[in-house]
């Protein structure tokens, strides 16, 4: 249900009133000598509006761009990674 202004009756509802439904990309390389260019190009070609990228080892749980990516995602968005190993 919504109010006359189109707002949800329960403003603390689990889902936002409007979904953004955008594609968000995440890229990662594990060494400073590696380049993110190929992954970022692929994510942009896939239609990602925003791309987050880390230059960190997969062993390191402190990946600030991955944390920022998770914080940026909204219900209905799609997270795209070039390959699963880059996300783990």
Active site members: 30
CB 47 within 8 A of CB 21: no
The beta-carbon contacts of 70-73 under 8 Å, at least 24 apart in sequence, are 72/24, 73/24
- Which burial class, exposed, middle or buried, applies to 51 when counting CB atoms under 10 A from its CB (0-12, 13-18, 19+)? buried
């Amino acid at each position: 249900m919504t109010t006359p202004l189109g707002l949800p009756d329960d403003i603390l509802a689990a889902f936002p009133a409007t979904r953004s439904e955008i594609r968000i990309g995440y890229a990662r390389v594990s060494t400073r000598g590696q380049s993110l260019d190929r992954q970022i190009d692929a994510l942009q070609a896939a239609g990602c509006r925003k791309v987050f990228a880390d230059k960190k080892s997969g062993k390191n749980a402190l990946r600030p761009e991955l944390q920022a990516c998770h914080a940026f995602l909204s219900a209905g968005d799609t997270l795209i990674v070039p390959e699963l190993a880059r996300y783990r």
